[in-house]
Amino acid sequence: MAEKKPLIKELTKGFLAENPVLRLVLGTCPTLAVSTSVTNAIGMGISASAVLICSNIAISALRKIIPSKVRIPAYIVVIASFVTIVQMIVKAFAPALNESLGVYLPLIVVNCIILGRAEAFAGKNKVLASAVDGLGMGIGFTAALLAMAIVRELLGAGSFAGHAIPLLSQNPMTIFILPPGGFFVFGILMACANKIAEGRGKPKAELHGCESCPMAASCKLIQTDSAENVKEATVE
Amino acid sequence: MKAFLFILLTAILTQNFILCKFLGICPFLGVSKKLNTAVGMSAAVIFVMVLATAVTYPINTLLEKNDLAYLQTIVFILVIAALVQLVEIVLKKYIPSLYSALGIYLPLITTNCAVLGVVLLNVDNGYNFVQSLTNSFGAGVGFLLAMVMFAGVRERMESCDIPKFMQGLPITLVAASLTAVSFLGFTGLVEGIFPGVTI
């Protein structure tokens, strides 16, 4: 990761080429759970992005102090601290959002995107690059969340951000805001992303057991063969 | 007694962790390709969930007594991570047979949202100690049920002719969607069996 990349590239790669949700298949739990309405999606996107940027900055600044043997617990402590701060802010200034996000707000701690970026990028790069990477990934996450939420809310509730849309709201297909609709819309969205990626000659998104999990590098289950995969993925 | 059955069945069927609450999607999509890995992973999840609940409940009481409830997230995740490590060491030393069955799945569970999720939900719902344990056990069994069902679906998908751009994850997610539809059928079931029971 030593080569110099222009900062703008670090920013934009998170939108499409390395979109965390649709290309890297990280953070699927919150994507499915809170995309029932546009408001929730934006709230979740902003909260997770804030944690991601702050933790990327902190971890990148501390990367030379943290011994590599205990880096995962150290990262978790940093991330959990920022999540607690964000949780307090949301509770104080947007109690309605806190209510509707519920348990998924503290669960940002275990969002694979954040630990994954800490492991793959912030632990090896300079502070500014890490901050920009966090911002890009945060925007990519929010965009994917928003795309799903728009489809699900329009079809499932016939509204957009709580405002009823005349024709659609008469007979909304409620199944789209129920759990099965979440899986379905996510599957179709990923198929579209694959189709676009295929046109550009990129491989399709794939979840190979635990390789895509940020714990993979430190987990002994696949230590031998996936260490190279992880390295490849990050060099890209 | 009724209350416990109510919590148990709700956690397994109507509020299934994977298919209704979307917690633990990564192992659901990643480890459900074969039946035996699905069962092994689920067994490890049940084990860690119940253990984590048993350990975090007294800690949470302590935190709440000292007005430190805002530290829940950070304390719980650290306790769970430490606990998983400890369990791994203990199992390796004293119960090697169990370790060989569950060992490889344990490190994967540390940052699993299902485990932290069940602990936080127990606190949110205000369950007492035994109710928390029941809920965690139920959530784990629900996890097992969804994993086993889905492993069966996936094994059949292997031999299907799927359009190229739908291959891999997209078709898996659509199949998960249909599996989730079957769990929608349980809506209202538990309330119907135990009318008037409230926790």
Q: How far is B78 from chain A (nearest CA, A)?
A: 8
Total beta-carbon pairs less than 8 A apart between chain A and chain B:
151
Question: What pLDDT does A206 receive?
Answer: 62
Within-domain flag for B197: no
Residue B103, pLDDT > 60, answer: yes
Minimum mean pLDDT range among A29-43, A178-192, B10-24, B182-196: B182-196
Contact (Cβ atoms closer than 8 angstroms) between residue A29 and residue A105: no
Q: How far is B121 from chain A (nearest CA, A)?
A: 7
pLDDT tens-digit series, residues B27-49: 788 777 778 878 888 888 888 89
Most A CBs within 10 A among B77, B106, B147, hence the mutation to make, goes to B77
Which of A116, A118, A117, A92 has the alpha carbon at shortest distance from A105? A92
Of residues B26, B110, B177, nearest to A184 (C-beta): B177
Q: Residue A227: exposed, middle, or buried by beta-carbon count in 10 A (0-12, 13-18, 19+)?
A: middle
Which of B148, B187, B191 has the alpha carbon at shortest distance from B7? B191
Cβ neighbours of B101 in A, within 8 Å: none
Q: What is the total count of domains within chain B? A: 1
Within-domain flag for B7: no
Within-domain flag for B193: no
Scanning every residue of chain B, which has its alpha carbon at the shortest distance from the alpha carbon of A190? B170
Question: What pLDDT does A4 receive?
Answer: 54
Give yes or no for B101 touching A (CB within 8 A).
no
Contact (Cβ atoms closer than 8 angstroms) between residue A110 and residue B111: yes
pLDDT (tens, 9 = 90+) of chain A, 236 residues, equals 444 567 777 777 777 777 888 877 778 888 888 888 899 999 999 999 999 999 999 999 998 888 887 888 888 889 999 999 999 999 999 999 888 888 888 888 888 788 888 888 888 888 998 999 899 999 999 999 999 999 999 888 888 877 777 777 778 888 888 889 999 999 998 888 888 887 777 666 665 444 555 555 444 444 333 334 444 444 33
Which range of residues forms the domain containing residue B91? 14-185
pLDDT tens-digit series, residues B105-118: 777 677 678 888 89
Within-domain flag for B47: yes
Of residues A107, A205, A214, nearest to B116 (C-beta): A107
Per-domain residue ranges for chain A? 9-163+173-205, 206-236
Of residues A107, A204, A214, nearest to B113 (C-beta): A107
Within-domain flag for B37: yes
Tokens of A205: 């998104």
- Residues 22-81 (B) with a CB less than 8 A from some CB of A: 22-26, 29-31, 33, 70-74, 77-78, 81
Within-domain flag for B133: yes
Q: What is the DSSP string of A94-131?
A: -HHHHHHHGGGTGGGGG-HHHHHHIIIIITTS-HHHHH
